[in-house]
Structure 1
């Protein structure tokens, strides 16, 4: 549209937003996550794993029984209260929480750093001329 009239040099240039290697790595990591989630869902749905199927059925039954009684206002109210309660509860039980949840948080942060390392920096992709 209007870009070719206001800045014709931009319309003539082609630039690569992401390199093919970065796209391949990103798509591969997303595909791995989707495959793992699909395998877990398949195990629950097809009764491959009885334990996961029973957990899913119990969770769905509890949600079915509670959903008529819970409104959006109740969820917002409880969420607002949790904002003020959780910091105090964390301070009281800090050692126990850090001991049990700490390794999982470190693992999640390491995974996040690994995924972000595969994403190229903007300055590496777009070169100023």
Structure 2
């Protein structure tokens, strides 16, 4: 039964309309969390105020997520996130755990302004 649900999710997430709707929902959830926890985040944004930041940077599709956005989403969903990315001139693999010290249940690969989901290889 679990494999059937996984196949359904994979199929749905690969449909552009569904995928975009999920991303938009997560952007709105992130915006709401940032604004309802403004005291925790307002010092970490580069905008006149948090509402402007959310309206221009978080809620708009195709905008890159900043660290503060990912932290807010992690808190809103109560999940740890592991991000692997290539950084620096020598393109070294760097790992970020958000929030720090969490046991991540979501793993992402950050490449060229885009996040891809990483799946753990299952034992056969």
Query: TM-score, normalising length from structure 2?
Result: 0.28
Larger RCO (CA under 8 A, 6+ residues apart): 1
User: As a proportion of its length, which structure holds more helix?
Assistant: 1
Query: TM-score, normalising length from structure 1?
Result: 0.27
User: As a proportion of its length, which structure holds more strand?
Assistant: 2
Bigger Rg over Cα: 1
